[in-house]
Structure 1
Amino acid sequence: MSGVLITGATSGIGKQLAQDYARQGWQVIACGRNEDVLDELSEMSTSITPLRFDLTDLEQTLAVLSELPFTPTLWILNAGDCEYIDDGVMDAKLMTRVMQINVLGMTNTIEAIQPHLKAGHRVAIVGSIASELALPRTEAYGASKAAVGYLARALRLDWASKGIDVTCVFPGFVATPLTEKNNFDMPMMISVESASQAIRRGLEKGVANLYFPVRFTWIIRLLGALPYRWQYQFVSRFFAPKRTKQ
């Protein structure tokens, strides 16, 4: 029996993954905070087992994940959130909220699942292509996803001797409730269905770093490989807000 645990399964990519894996015949543990959506998922398929907890609460996360209905071989750590810093005015509380969910929530989950991990398992950690190139307003989100990407690469090194594989996922823009809040152009956006398909295919192939959509993420990666001065000039010209004349 193939089994997968997915965090952030009550919205966006995570919800789509839970449904698609269940349709493929996988046993799915869907994790999230929204009880109504978890109930909806479990009613949708007998292959989906819901787990409700707040991954920013370490003790709760450890307790809930200490006993699972089965041991998955695939673990998709997808939960995350996005908030923006406006006009470069630092908001420490906003930064704390984003880091609490995207970084500390990730580490809480990893600590909770590590007693279950065995050789042959794969852990997929969902970052963002935003970590590859500094953009306006992304001080909190981009920094959190850069931390997540580094975390994934370091874990891959430490877990290799244990036979545990790590994949870091770098999505571009995906049409989800999270991106619906954005008030700027999002080029080459894809649907959650396409995102789910890309992730499932990539994980099946066992890739270490998964970028999609391919064209958009390659452009961002190429820009991110430029010297910082050139990156700054490019982003300032095409993305940065214009200065108002006094």
Structure 2
Amino acid sequence: MVKQIRNKTLWVTGASSGIGRALSLRLARHDNIVIASGRRYEALAELQKLCPERIRVLDCDVADDDAMAAVPERLEALTGHLDMVVACAGTCEYDDDLQLDGLSYRRVFDANFFGVVNTLRSALPLLGASPAPVFAALGSLSSVVPFPRAEAYGSSKAALDYFLGAVRADLCRTALKVVLIRPGFVRTPLTARNDFAMPFLMSAEQAAERIELGLCKGRNTIDFPRRLSWPLRFLGSCKALWFHLCVPKLTRIRTLRKH
């Protein structure tokens, strides 16, 4: 029998679409109370209709520091504790031709990195009320090796990887478990914009199943699919091979820009 998370109270960000939406619905159908967050209230309301007794809506933008200041109080109005938080909110912008647009980089870091910082800060008081709390966040296998065009996205996920590891180190004497989730390519509105082949592409529902299973098994890092994660982790440990064999086939830049 597949392991399931049951009878818990969870907060899932990025729940208006993609992996966050699929995970929220899956967990709600497994008899959990799910607080579903995202920027688009209408999308969250539609999600709530699919499981109205189990899904509670908290619309917020995790990248907005000012708006997130009110979230702890709003969370407390919905629940007295949190057993688990899964931070799925994020975005992706590619740096074509190495433009190094600072605004683009800031948008990506605001959502993918600082959004997780804001989420953890908002959730910590309620996680402290649970006997076995879990904080998980969505990274990416793109942080294992450096991909062309992914300077902003991959860097934000690499920063998240380090941040979660440091939080885990700081809280190692407490009950809080910190989990890094690193999926490969998942069919979502974000990846629908990709203009390149995505090997081992899976659905958001399949990703949600992998995430729940990994959380049930108590893993500190949840990488999937293995067919992609294992080769990337090998190449990450031997970057000379990655740069020699792979990146010349992936990069689109042939010459430096001239002023």
* Aligned counterparts, 1:94-243, within 5 A: 94-118=104-128, 119-226=131-238, 228-241=239-252, 243=254
Counterpart contact for 1:62–1:111, Cα < 8 Å: no
Gap regions ≥5 residues in structure 2: 1-6
Tell whether the 8 Å contact from 2:120 to 2:135 is kept in structure 1 after alignment: no
> What amino acid is aligned across from residue 125 of structure 2 in structure 1?
P
- Provide the C-alpha distance between the structure 1 equivalents of 2:253 and 2:68, rounded to a whole number of angstroms: 44
Distance 1:178 1:8 in 2: 12
Give the aligned residue type for 2:139.
Answer: G
Cα displacement string for residues 38-77 of structure 1 (whole angstroms, at most 9, x for unaligned residues): 1111221120000011112223213123324222201101
Structure 2 equivalent of residue 17 of structure 1 = 23
Whole-Å separation in 2 of the counterparts to 1:183 and 1:50: 33
Return the alpha-carbon distance in structure 1 between the equivalents of residues 116 and 247 of structure 2: 32
TM-score normalised to the size of structure 1? 0.95
DSSP 3-state at the match of 1:111 = helix
Tell me how far 1:234 sits from its aligned partner.
2.1
The question of 1:38 aligning with 2:44 is answered yes
Q: Distance in 1 between matches of 2:48 and 2:203?
A: 23
Q: Structure 2: how far apart are the matches of 1:132 and 1:26?
A: 33
Give the superposition deviation at 1:120: 1.0
Give the fraction of aligned pairs with identical amino acids, expressed as a percent. 37
TM-score (norm. length: structure 2): 0.90
Measured after TM superposition, the shift of residue 236 of structure 1 is 2.7
Shift of 1:213: 0.7
Match of 1:4, SS state, is strand
RMSD value over aligned CA atoms?
Answer: 1.3
Q: Which amino acid aligns with 2:38?
A: G
Which residue does 2:32 correspond to in 1?
26
> In the comparison of the two structures, how many residue pairs are matched?
243
Decide which of 30, 53, 59 is 2:60's aligned counterpart: 53
Matched residues in 2 for 1:58 and 1:150: separation?
21
Aligned: 1:83 with 2:90: no
- CA distance in structure 2 between the aligned counterparts of 1:68 and 1:12, rounded to whole angstroms: 26
| C-alpha separation in 1, matches of 2:253 and 2:66 | 46
Larger displacement relative to structure 2 (56-65 or 162-171) = 56-65
Which segments of 5 or more consecutive residues in structure 1 lack a partner in the other structure? none
Query: What does residue 69 of structure 1 align with?
Result: 78
Tell me the secondary structure at the aligned position of residue 162 of structure 1: coil
